[in-house]
Amino acid sequence: MSQGTLTLSTGFEGGSALPVSVSGETLRIRLRADAAGRDMNWFYFRISGAAGRELRVVIENASDLSRLAGRDEVPDCWTGYRPFVSANRRDWTRCDADYADGVFTIKTPAVADTVWVAYYPPFPMDRHDAMIAAAVSDGRCRLERLGVTPQGRDLDLLRIGTPGPGKPKVWIMGRQHPSETMAGFFVEGLLARLLDPSDALGRALCDALDIFVVPTVNPDGCAMGNTRLNARGMNLNRAWDGTDPETAPEVAMILTRMRAEGVDFCLDAHGDEELPYVFLGGPLEIPSRSSRLDTLFNDFGQALERSCPAYSMDDPYPGGAPETADLRMAWNAIAEEFDCLSILLEMPFKDTHRDSDPEMGWSPARSADLGRSMLDAIDAVRRRLR
């Protein structure tokens, strides 16, 4: 699509937007749904010919998105949101935007002739591969392949530490939902501290725990530029109860390994488009809930509160706790099957109202910092997981 020298492209990994028109300094686009439905928050596109122009990118169908229950008192994902722009796909800054009458308008600064605009900074598969390579350069970490996705990509597992009598089995997962790229930065920060030979806590956890990390649960969806679904049109975080290996092979592969190894702790990292805070979900509504799991979750949250200024236990699961856990979701299903402390972590796309950053909001750097802080919370409960 072009007019003169101004062009918009999505022909690269993770790219997603449907061009509509170019008129003067205004580009009009529509969000692309993953499949039949309304999973379509994510956008990531390149504009060429931008030098010297103050561009406006208008998303015409922003209001078509559905919202989760219990969010009536919370601003929607577009209100107050500022997307990211980059001239080199390494350094990202926020840009101005506004939302009115169902239309989201991005005001793209002319930082270079070619700019990339994204809902959140991408975490591409080459960065995933670099993270894997850095991790396995440490002798305590080994790379395994859980299997191959429908599009032929490896489902990577990092195995850290060694099994032994009484060693808790700790699982960390990220990016069931491709658009929630902060989960990639979170795992990157967690691994960096865990495998830092100068970090005493990292060394202690590697010695004391048997750790399994699946950094990218949905590599096909990530490469395709999907918002939530995998290549077969499945929301993987709704596939953990009665898992179908045809529609959710990634979940089936992970569950097979979990059942072979055991699970004493699991953390599943996500992002939330609307809420201005970091929050946790715990195994508090599962059918087999217990005071033991309730105490562990509370102690974990208190430890994270001490180690991360952006988190507070006063910021609860939105809309209040449901009466009955949805066992299609990973953290609930894993807690129920393995009688273990299993936690949902949600990070904001916007910013936190605690320890806020007016310039960058919740940035990749802050996601990585939270990953590093998470070791303190794991350490607080590791001796009591069983």
Three-state DSSP string of the chain: CEECCEEEECCCCCCECEEEEEECCEEEEECCCCCCCCCCCCCEEEEECCCCCCEEEEECCHHHCCCCCCCCCCCCCCCCCCCEEECCCCCCEECEEEEECCEEEEEECCCCCEEEEECCCCCCHHHHHHHHHHHHCCCCEEEEEEEECCCCCEEEEEEECCCCCCCCEEEEEECCCCCCCHHHHHHHHHHHHHCCCCCHHHHHHHHHCEEEEECCCCHHHHHHCCCCECCCCCEHHHCCCCCCCCCCHHHHHHHHHHHHHCCCEEEEEEEECCCCCEEEECCCCCCCCCHHHHHHHHHHHHHHHHHCCCECCCCCCCCCCCCCCCCCCHHHHHHHHHCCEEEEEEEECCCCCCCCCCCCCCCHHHHHHHHHHHHHHHHHHHHHCC
**Boundary-marking domain end, from 118, 135, 152:** 118
Tokens of residue 287, six digits: 């059918």
Q: Is 346 a catalytic residue?
A: yes
CA–CA separation, 254 and 128 (whole Å) = 18
Pair 53, 179 in one domain = no
CA–CA separation, 181 and 174 (whole Å) = 9
Q: What is the CATH number of the domain that holds 350?
A: 3.40.630.10
pLDDT band at 3 (very low <50, low <70, confident <90, very high): very low
Pair 166, 303 in one domain = yes
Domain of 166? Answer: 125-384
**Is 223 in contact with 179 (CB distance < 8 Å)?**
no
**Is 108 in contact with 96 (CB distance < 8 Å)?**
no
**Average pLDDT in the 22-35 region?**
92
Q: What is the CATH number of the domain that holds 103?
A: 2.60.40.3120
Distances (CA, A) of 145 to 156, 253, 330: 5, 10, 20
**Average pLDDT in the 198-207 region?**
97
Half-sphere exposure of residue 30: CA atoms within 13 angstroms, side-chain side: 9
How do beta strands 103-108 and 114-118 pair?
Answer: unpaired
**Average pLDDT in the 178-196 region?**
98
**Boundary-marking domain end, from 96, 118, 140:** 118
Pair 11, 44 in one domain = yes
Pair 380, 271 in one domain = yes
Pair 281, 345 in one domain = yes
Pair 218, 199 in one domain = yes
pTM: 0.96
Look at the block and give the residue holding tokens 């509370």. Answer: 298
84: part of which helix (H) or strand (E)? strand 84-86
User: 180, 336, 337, 346: which one is catalytic?
Assistant: 346
Pair 66, 160 in one domain = no
Pair 74, 151 in one domain = no
Pair 109, 130 in one domain = no
pLDDT band at 68 (very low <50, low <70, confident <90, very high): confident
Instruction: For the chain, give the mean pLDDT.
Output: 94
**Boundary-marking domain end, from 103, 118, 133:** 118
Q: If we measure between CA atoms, which residue out of 106, 169, 121, 204 comes closest to residue 338? A: 169
Pair 304, 352 in one domain = yes
- Angle, helices 291-307 vs 364-381, to 10°: value is 130
For 85-97, write each residue's pLDDT tens digit: 999 999 999 999 9
Q: Is the pLDDT of residue 220 over 80?
A: yes
Pair 248, 104 in one domain = no
User: Position 148: which residue type?
Assistant: V
> What's the pLDDT at 13?
97
For 221-270, write each residue's pLDDT tens digit: 999 999 999 999 999 999 999 999 999 999 999 999 999 999 999 999 99
For 163-182, write each residue's pLDDT tens digit: 889 899 999 999 999 999 99
**Average pLDDT in the 321-329 region?**
87
The number of domains in the chain is 2
Pair 141, 24 in one domain = no
For 82-133, write each residue's pLDDT tens digit: 999 999 999 999 999 999 988 999 998 777 899 999 999 999 999 999 999 9
Tokens of residue 194, six digits: 């865990």
